[in-house]
Chain A
Amino acid sequence: MVAVTEAKASALRVTDVTKSFSAPDDPLTRRIVLSGISLSLAPGELVSLIGPSGCGKSTLLRLIAGLDSPDSGELLIGSEPINEPSAERGLVFQDPNLFPWLTVRRNIQAGLVARGVLREKREEVDEFMRLVGLEIFANAYPHHLSGGMAQRAALARALINHPKVLLLDEPLGALDAFTRMRMQDEVLRLWQDRRTTMLLVTHDIDEAIYMSDRIMIMSPRPGRIERTISVTLDRPRQRSGEDFLRLRSDILKYLHFAGEASAELST
């Protein structure tokens, strides 16, 4: 049932991870959020996690980021176990979470300052601001940026640390449809440019098909990976191509079959 692609040298490997939280109304019972999650990402792979709200996608991402620890199971980055957050696993949220008290430039270099390597890597700041096209906003404060620009700054801030894996938690979910499509191309360009391994959590089936090498479909209560689909369409992909639409209706059918409300899934 759980399909795991066995790669010889995986960038990220999650083995049989379980996570539960105490229920908010009753602290004595524990609600299982993730159950028996196993997955593996090859270096440079872009994988999407898709599924209805409450299936534990974001929880899984937080475990991989090291912000929470699992009840059981093993998380490996390369061959190192994940114990705590680290700069080698970048995380971008739906809200860009730029520090409002720092200018765009200072936000982007925050990771270098935090690790105390700004002096050696100062020229990279300009490189990453160019990469996301924000040079002219270097000295603007985040509240002057549009949603798309803020998210590009957040991506640059995560990428400047050269993370082994970039974790994306619905990064484009708050953007309007046009900006979202443009940003999808933007993220793909960054991905192809830097060959960063990416794990993308999304609500959006089109986005998952358009962007990823593989799609993992999760189901809730408790959160499990139901199925993994390899997307073999040529890049750049045509959103209205025949294969694209067939894959889309397959996934939709599968999600309906899994008994989940389609209202959760924006298309």
Chain B
Amino acid sequence: MLQGKDGIGGRAEVTRSVGSTPMSAQVPDEFVPTSELPASSKLSWRTMLAVPIAALVTIGIHFLFSKKEAPVETHSYALLFWEIIVVSFVLVGAQFYSSGLRRWMRHMCPIFTIAILSLAAWDVITLGLRLLPLPYFPGPAAVLRSLVNDRAMLLDSTWHSLFLLLSGYALGVIAGLISGLCIGWSSPVRYWGMPILKVVGPIPATAWIPLAMVLSPSAVVSAASLIALAVWFPVTMLTASGISNTRASYLDVARTLGATRSYLIFRVAVPAAVPNIFIGLFMGLGASFLTLVVAESVGVKSGLGWYVSWAQGWAEYGKVYAALIIMAAFFSTIMTLLFKIRDRVLVWQKGTIKW
């Protein structure tokens, strides 16, 4: 946060921010039950045992309902929860030696407990009471089995999706930053560029699919360009508005300091626009996920989007849900990475949005 560790005042600031940030980062709202406890105090037995007990309950429920199922199906599911129980006991032992771990556990244990119990509820509704029609709503054990059995193909699909997403996103970001910079800084470019941006930009990238299929040599190239287009619009828009809203007094000060044009653009207007640019990057990332999945399910013959529609074609809904779980983890990891980058780049800004 603050790098002035060598100074008296700097140190005072550091301790203050260290003292306040973890609390505020850790307590997003007042509904977290254990938030009012000081970070250093011991964990209650309730917190320590909640996760293993929930896991035991879930195993119990599963065994109760799955007597007539094939043993292979239950095997990996039960194993998962035995692993969870072992890991949670290891963590309970380790937290006596690490206050950071203790803080993390206090924050996360309620969430994990509820997540595990919802798996049990899912089990009860599908496997136990058969409330939902079967090929479409398999139980958690069946989904896990699909996940494990089809892991090679899922990994391969994830890899293809990652490649496609990153190439399209990078292309869109580079194009968006360049066009946003030009539109934001130069008024002739703004005059001619803005109408194009306003008319073409709001068209969803997926609406271009028919055209992209005709124009481009391969499905992968057309999908990458569609993702790039989806990213390009918000990045351009937000970069341009950030650049053109640079406080005039920053530019005035820089000019009286002897700034050249390139200093004004790249050392004043661009850094001033960075908070805005990141909003564009986030919006573009959301749009790129959407475009990726749609493009993969209609044209490209690989990737997670393709896998979902392929599995649906064979009525293997366990695989559909397995792919959705992978997608959730995959997209959320990328989103988290972008937030981490943002936090590093914008250390100078106070009050940023939390993820």
Residues of chain A within 8 A (CB-CB) of B267 are 110, 113-114
Taking a contact as CB atoms under 8 Å apart, the answer to whether A140 and B2 are in contact is yes
Binds B, one of A8-16, A22-30, A130-138, A222-230: A130-138
* 8 Å CB contact of A140 from B9, B249, B271: B9
Q: A136-B8, A139-B10 are in contact. Are A67 and B348 (CB under 8 A)?
A: no
CB under 8 Å from chain B, chain A span 56-112: 62, 65-67, 84-87, 89-91, 93, 95, 97, 99-103, 110-111
- Of B4, B260, B271, most A-chain CB atoms within 10 Å: B4
Residues of chain A within 8 A (CB-CB) of B130 are none
Tell me, in angstroms, the Cα distance from A143 to B247 when the chains sit together.
Answer: 16
Q: How far is the CB of A18 from chain B (nearest CB, A)?
A: 22
Q: Size of chain B's interface in residues, with CB distance under 8 A?
A: 32
Residues of chain A within 8 A (CB-CB) of B5 are 139
Taking a contact as CB atoms under 8 Å apart, the answer to whether A139 and B256 are in contact is no
Tell me, in angstroms, the Cα distance from A110 to B250 when the chains sit together.
Answer: 12
Tell me, in angstroms, the Cα distance from A86 to B9 when the chains sit together.
Answer: 34
Tell me, in angstroms, the Cα distance from A137 to B271 when the chains sit together.
Answer: 21
Q: A101-B274, A143-B350 are in contact. Are A111 and B257 (CB under 8 A)?
A: yes
Tell me, in angstroms, the Cα distance from A263 to B26 when the chains sit together.
Answer: 50
Taking a contact as CB atoms under 8 Å apart, the answer to whether B253 and A114 are in contact is no
Taking a contact as CB atoms under 8 Å apart, the answer to whether B349 and A100 are in contact is yes
Residues of chain B within 8 A (CB-CB) of A62 are 252
Q: How far is the CB of A45 from chain B (nearest CB, A)?
A: 20
Taking a contact as CB atoms under 8 Å apart, the answer to whether B250 and A141 are in contact is no
By beta carbon, the residue of chain B nearest A65 is B256
Taking a contact as CB atoms under 8 Å apart, the answer to whether A136 and B4 are in contact is yes
Tell me, in angstroms, the Cα distance from A173 to B6 when the chains sit together.
Answer: 32
Taking a contact as CB atoms under 8 Å apart, the answer to whether A139 and B258 are in contact is no
Tell me, in angstroms, the Cα distance from A193 to B6 when the chains sit together.
Answer: 28
CB under 8 Å from chain B, chain A span 120-161: 135-144, 157-158, 161
Cβ of A115 within 8 Å of any chain B Cβ, yes or no, is yes
Tell me, in angstroms, the Cα distance from A81 to B18 when the chains sit together.
Answer: 53
Residues of chain B within 8 A (CB-CB) of A142 are 348
Tell me, in angstroms, the Cα distance from A138 to B6 when the chains sit together.
Answer: 9
Q: A136-B8, A137-B7 are in contact. Are A97 and B253 (CB under 8 A)?
A: yes
By beta carbon, the residue of chain B nearest A104 is B4
By beta carbon, the residue of chain B nearest A88 is B258
Residues of chain A within 8 A (CB-CB) of B272 are 99, 101
* 8 Å CB contact of B348 from A89, A97, A101: A101
* 8 Å CB contact of B4 from A110, A137, A158: A137
